[in-house]
Amino acid sequence: MNRRTRCAAAFLLAMATLVGAGTGPAAADQAPSLTAADRDLVVRVRLAGLWEIPAGDMAETKGSTARVREVGKLISAQHIALDKLAVTAARRLGIELPDEPTPEQAYWLREMRAASGPTFDRVFAQRLREAHGRIFPAIAAVRAGTRDPVVRELANDANDFVKTHLDLLDSTGAVDYGHLPPLTGPAAEEHRFVLLGDPRHPGRDGTDEQVRQALVGLTGGLAALLALVLGIRVLFPARGTRVVRPPEPASPPHRRQ
């Protein structure tokens, strides 16, 4: 391979690198990025169904008023539908889901089983109302920050269901609003959701990774541009530039025999 062929190959390589550097970050931006908060929300929706479906079933049979029984039936049926959506999303995303409620949720169910009459109504309405009030802002935060279309769709559905359940529970007249969690800040276990995009916690939403990728792309682009300029100068030298070639060795003098 002569010098001009090698230079041409270097020129083509530089062009390919430059094109790759220009299109790489754009392709990365188009690919959805599944975050820990995305996965956590899918799991939380599943957990909600694992305890609120049996809670609604109990309310349908144990409620002391017709409204509590009606609300229990509606919440149970709607959580069955939402649970199917969560299972479908988890299957598409490769997320492993739990099959049992958390110890806290299991305790709430034991409370309901042990209660009866108006006491059951208060326990049922209060526990579900508190749980829905805590997860409602979490769903909104993930919905606003997720880049995954499957998670976004599930968050949209969950948001509609939870808003409906808040209205249903409020309509029972058994909610003690004085004992609901304060709204001045998120509950401790919800911080992993609402800190998405919080300027006090940079990098929680993948910003650091985006900056790193941008710097890598910029560095690669500058390197490719430099290679391109050097290739052009080699292939097309400036006018007036003489290529100095080394003198050919002189032939040795012929000796007379």
pLDDT at 179: 86
> Token digits for 129?
């109302």
Going by the DSSP 8-state scheme, the letter that residue 202 receives in this structure is T
Cβ 81 vs Cβ 61: under 8 Å: no
Cβ 157 vs Cβ 41: under 8 Å: no
User: Which region holds residue 183: left if phi is over 0, alpha if psi is between -120 and 50, else beta?
Assistant: alpha
Tens of pLDDT, residue by residue, the chain (257 residues): 555 555 555 555 555 554 454 444 444 443 457 899 999 999 999 999 999 999 999 999 999 999 999 999 999 999 999 999 999 999 999 999 999 999 999 999 999 999 999 999 999 999 999 999 999 999 999 999 999 999 999 999 999 999 999 999 999 999 999 988 775 444 444 444 333 333 333 344 444 555 566 666 676 667 677 666 666 665 666 555 555 555 565 555 555 54
pLDDT at 33: 78
Cβ 17 vs Cβ 89: under 8 Å: no
d(Cα 98, Cα 79) in Å, to the nearest integer?
16
pLDDT at 206: 47
End-to-end Cα distance, the chain: 43
> Token digits for 26?
């754009």
Cβ 211 vs Cβ 217: under 8 Å: no
pLDDT at 151: 97
